[in-house]
Amino acid sequence: MKSFFSSVVTAALCLCSFAFVSCNKNENKTPDPLTFSVTKAEVEVGKTVKVTVKNGTQPFTVKSSDEKIATVKVEKEKITVTGVAGGTATISVVDKNQTTGSFTVTVKAAAEKLEFDKAEVTVGVEKEEVVTVKSGTAPYTVKVTDPAVATAIVKEAAITVKGVKAGTTTLTVTDKDGKTGEVAIKVE
């Protein structure tokens, strides 16, 4: 009987220690981090980008590592990041259960516009007028929105606009680096 009692007590102690070890493992499990529709986002200055939280429990709180570069707000699982200035910021997100996650956002400066010696050209039919590009990097390419009204050719930074018929159109100039600018054309 003493041996039986000793065996039962030993078995009970083994079961209890197994239960404690088993509970301990479940309680200490770290929750999976929050995940998002992107791991890296890009946005231009003055524009917004939307990112979705793919897991976690609402409500979410969000914070930008640098609000001089990007600001952030959240509504339900939708995060809206607004570009403020060129650079990179980290967006940190925490859910109701204190589960965390983050993603980076790169804010690109708005593309520079080319500058010209005049914003508008008025030219007669069969007459020419020269517009000079004051910024950007050669070579330049030119395109007239309505070539039935005016044509343009470029040589270095000088653009010669020739009137074809009365009307208005726009001259678009692009430089080597992809910067663009426009000049309004009026043919009389």
Q: Is the model more confident about 78 or about 2?
A: 78
Q: Which of 108, 129, 153 is the last residue of a domain?
A: 108
State the Cα angle at 94 between 93 and 100, rounded to 5°.
85
Q: How many domains does the chain have?
A: 2
Is residue 116 within 8 A of residue 133, CB to CB? The reply is yes
Residue 13 pLDDT: 57
Same domain for 90 and 56: yes
What is the mean predicted confidence (pLDDT) over 80-108? 96
119: exposed, middle or buried (Cβ count in 10 Å: 0-12, 13-18, 19+): exposed
C-alpha–C-alpha distance, residues 77 and 35, integer Å: 11
In a domain, 26, yes or no: no
Give the range among 23-37, 84-98, 140-154 with minimum mean pLDDT: 23-37
Residue 109 pLDDT: 81
Entry pTM: 0.53
In a domain, 15, yes or no: no
In a domain, 12, yes or no: no
Residue with tokens 């793919």: 54
For the cut 70, the answer to whether the pLDDT of residue 173 exceeds it is yes
Range(s) of the domain holding residue 127: 120-187
In a domain, 35, yes or no: no
In a domain, 9, yes or no: no
Same domain for 161 and 103: no
Same domain for 160 and 129: yes
